[in-house]
């Protein structure tokens, strides 16, 4: 899946209309929430210890301290979400497999002052990354009884891959008790992973030394306060250029829009630019998402030679 859809075609010697299927119906949307099937925090001061059965996860920087003023080391967290039900539910709601992800939220319940002294406290920045590796083992360790049967700090070099993993954004915790939602970036590899219906892994790590962000894990007793990944999608808007006509010295490019989608009409003046791969496309018209369907006619001044166009949409 892609954040937007786009395709190209051309009329030799004059211009290139983008040919994309389309309709003027209101955008059909759906949302599905899923909880992790594995999660664990790892800790730099206990590099071989596993905490996979803990009721909380944590992200901590180098200067954060616990309630007694003690620094307990760096904390990172790993989460793995099953997406087979996400795909099946969205297929059923929006028509398999013709839908586009429009948003993904990671919903966490923060504990600003955790009872266990192992956890640091404090507000700060942290990063969420999609990670390609899903083979890590959750384990059965707890803060007061760590084990060696699952993922630990020393395993991170084997899990993380700078060539494959992608950042989904940098965020700040609230520093207060309660649920907080983080809108994740729609990176292509992340979306492809979601669409395949397997496991989607996230890695949370500190980006400022003062952060001590502790939040409920999937083992937390209240199921309403466990982590959730909420995936929102919409039926593919399938836009198209409906007509091309000459109006004096201009070419009229006509297309219809679907509510709640943004549109961009671009042009290129050379075939090499219009072919797949690097090129120089110029923006002619951008239309932000609108609450209702509209019909658009764009008048473009045409010079002699070739003129290439493409139309793309995004939520």
Separation between Cα atoms, residue 258 and residue 313, nearest integer Å? 10
The span from the first CA to the last CA of the chain, in angstroms, equals 13
Extended strands (E) in 237-294: 241-247, 250-256, 262-268, 282-287
DSSP secondary structure, 188-223, as one string: HHHHHHHHHTSEEEEEEEESSTT-EEEEE-TTSS-G
pLDDT tens digit sequence for 228-252? 999 999 888 877 878 878 887 888 8
Counted residue by residue, the chain has a size of 315
Q: Give the C-alpha separation, 35 to 81, whole Å.
A: 6
276 pLDDT band, cuts 50/70/90, is: low
Q: Which two tokens stand for residue 205?
A: 């790590």
Tell me the C-alpha distance between 121 and 65, whole Å: 6
Q: What is the pLDDT of residues 100-148, one digit of tens each?
A: 898 999 999 999 999 999 999 999 999 999 999 999 999 999 999 999 9
CA angle (100, 231, 220) in 5-degree steps = 165
Report pLDDT digits (tens) over 45-79: 999 999 999 999 999 999 999 999 999 999 999 99
- In 3D space, the residue among 117, 110, 126 whose CA is nearest the CA of residue 70 turns out to be 117
**Residue 89 DSSP class:** H
Q: What is the mean pLDDT of the chain?
A: 87
pLDDT computed for residue 21 by the predictor? 30
Contact between 185 and 99 (Cβ < 8 Å) = no
* Domain edges within the chain: 5-27+237-314, 30-235
Residue 208 to residues 3, 45, 55, 66, 70, Cα–Cα distance (Å): 30, 18, 24, 16, 18
What is the average pLDDT across 85-105?
90
* H-assigned helices in the chain: 84-94, 156-159, 188-196, 271-274
The one-character DSSP state at 176 is: S
Whole-prediction pTM: 0.77
């Amino acid at each position: 899946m892609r954040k937007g859809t786009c395709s190209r075609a051309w009329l030799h010697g004059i211009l290139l209309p983008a040919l994309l299927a389309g309709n003027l119906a209101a955008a059909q949307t759906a949302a599905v929430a899923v909880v992790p099937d594995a999660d664990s925090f790892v800790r730099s001061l206990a590099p071989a210890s596993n905490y996979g059965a803990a009721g909380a996860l944590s992200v901590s920087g180098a200067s954060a301290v616990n309630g007694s003023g003690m620094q307990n080391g760096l904390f990172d967290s790993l989460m793995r979400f099953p997406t087979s039900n996400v795909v099946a539910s969205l297929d059923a709601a929006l028509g398999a497999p013709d839908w586009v992800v429009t948003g993904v939220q990671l919903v966490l319940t923060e504990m600003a002052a955790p009872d266990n002294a192992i956890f640091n406290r404090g507000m700060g920045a942290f990063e969420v990354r999609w990670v390609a590796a899903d083979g890590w083992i959750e384990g059965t360790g707890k803060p007061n009884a760590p084990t060696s049967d699952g993922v630990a700090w020393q395993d991170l070099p084997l899990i993380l891959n700078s060539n494959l993993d992608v950042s989904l954004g940098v965020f700040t915790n609230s520093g207060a008790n309660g649920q907080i939602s983080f809108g994740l970036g729609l990176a292509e590899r992340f979306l492809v992973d979601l669409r395949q219906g397997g496991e989607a892994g996230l890695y949370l790590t500190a980006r400022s030394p003062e952060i001590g962000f502790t939040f409920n894990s999937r083992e937390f007793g209240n199921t309403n306060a466990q982590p959730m990944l909420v995936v929102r999608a919409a039926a593919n808007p399938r836009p198209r250029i409906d007509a091309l006509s000459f109006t004096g010295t201009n070419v009229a490019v006509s297309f219809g829009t679907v509510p709640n989608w943004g549109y961009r009409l671009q042009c290129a003046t050379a075939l090499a630019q219009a072919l797949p791969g690097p090129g120089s496309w110029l923006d002619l018209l951008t239309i932000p998402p609108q609450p209702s369907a509209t019909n658009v006619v764009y008048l473009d001044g045409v010079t002699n030679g070739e003129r290439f166009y493409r139309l793309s949409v995004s939520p």
